[in-house]
Structure 1
Amino acid sequence: MAAMKFYMTPGSCSTGIHIILEELEEVFEAHIVNLPAGDNFKPDYVAINPKATIPALVRGDGGVLTEVPAIAYWLGRSRPRAKLWPSDIETETRLLEAMTYIAGTVHGHGFARIFATPTFSRNEADQDSVRALGRNIVVKGFAILNRMLGEQPYLGGEFSVADPILFYVEFWADKTGIPLPANLLAHYRRMLARPVVQRVLREEGYNPATLGNLAAP
Structure 2
Amino acid sequence: MKQEVSPVQQIEVYSWPTPNGHKVHILLEECELPYRAIPVDIGAGDQFKPDFLAISPNNKIPALVDPHGPDGKPISVFESGAILVYLAAKTGRFLPKGDREKFEVLQWLMFQMGGVGPMLGQAHHFRGYAPEKIEYAIARYTNEAKRLYGVIDRRLAQNPWLGGKEYSIADIATFPWLRSWERQGIVLEEYPHLKKWFDRIAARPAVQRGVEVLADRRKPITDDKAREILFGSTQYQRR
Q: What TM-score do you get using the length of structure 2 for normalisation?
A: 0.74
- Counterpart of 2:87 (choices 66, 75, 83) is 75
Contact conserved, 1:57 with 1:65, CA < 8 A, in 2?
yes
Structure 1 counterpart of 2:5: none
The 1:59/1:131 distance shift into structure 2, 3 A limit, reads farther
- Counterpart of 1:53 (choices 32, 56, 60) is 60
Q: After TM superposition, list the pairs within 5 Å mapping 1:1-217 onto structure 2.
A: 2-60=9-67, 61-80=73-92, 83-108=93-118, 110-117=119-126, 124=132, 127-155=134-162, 156-174=164-182, 176-180=184-188, 181-205=191-215
For 1:204 and 1:151, how far apart are their aligned partners in 2?
35
Deviation, structure 1 residue 72: 1.0
For 2:214 and 2:56, how far apart are their aligned partners in 1?
22
Q: Which has the larger radius of gyration?
A: 2
Query: How many residues were matched structurally?
Result: 199
Deviation, structure 1 residue 153: 2.8
For 2:161 and 2:27, how far apart are their aligned partners in 1?
14
For 2:213 and 2:147, how far apart are their aligned partners in 1?
31
Q: What TM-score do you get using the length of structure 1 for normalisation?
A: 0.81
Give, as a single letter, the amino acid of the residue that structure 2 aligns with 1:113. Answer: Q
For 1:131 and 1:41, how far apart are their aligned partners in 2?
29
Across the aligned residues of Structure 1 and Structure 2, the Cα RMSD in angstroms comes to 2.4
The 1:150/1:91 distance shift into structure 2, 3 A limit, reads farther
For 1:148 and 1:23, how far apart are their aligned partners in 2?
24
Out of 144-153 and 5-14, give the one that drifted further.
144-153
Residue identity over aligned pairs, in percent, reads 29
Deviation, structure 1 residue 92: 1.1
The 1:202/1:3 distance shift into structure 2, 3 A limit, reads closer
Find the residue that maps to 1:13 and give its secondary structure: helix
Give, as a single letter, the amino acid of the residue that structure 1 aligns with 2:89. Answer: R
For 1:186 and 1:204, how far apart are their aligned partners in 2?
27
Does 1 or 2 have the higher relative contact order (CA < 8 Å, sep 6+)?
2
For 1:29 and 1:65, how far apart are their aligned partners in 2?
15
- Unmatched runs of 5 consecutive residues or more in structure 1: 207-217
Structure 1 counterpart of 2:236: none
Find the residue that maps to 2:161 and give its secondary structure: coil
Give, as a single letter, the amino acid of the residue that structure 2 aligns with 1:18. Answer: H
For 1:179 and 1:111, how far apart are their aligned partners in 2?
14
For 1:17 and 1:36, how far apart are their aligned partners in 2?
20
The 1:35/1:129 distance shift into structure 2, 3 A limit, reads farther
- Unmatched runs of 5 consecutive residues or more in structure 2: 1-7, 68-72, 217-239
Deviation, structure 1 residue 91: 1.9
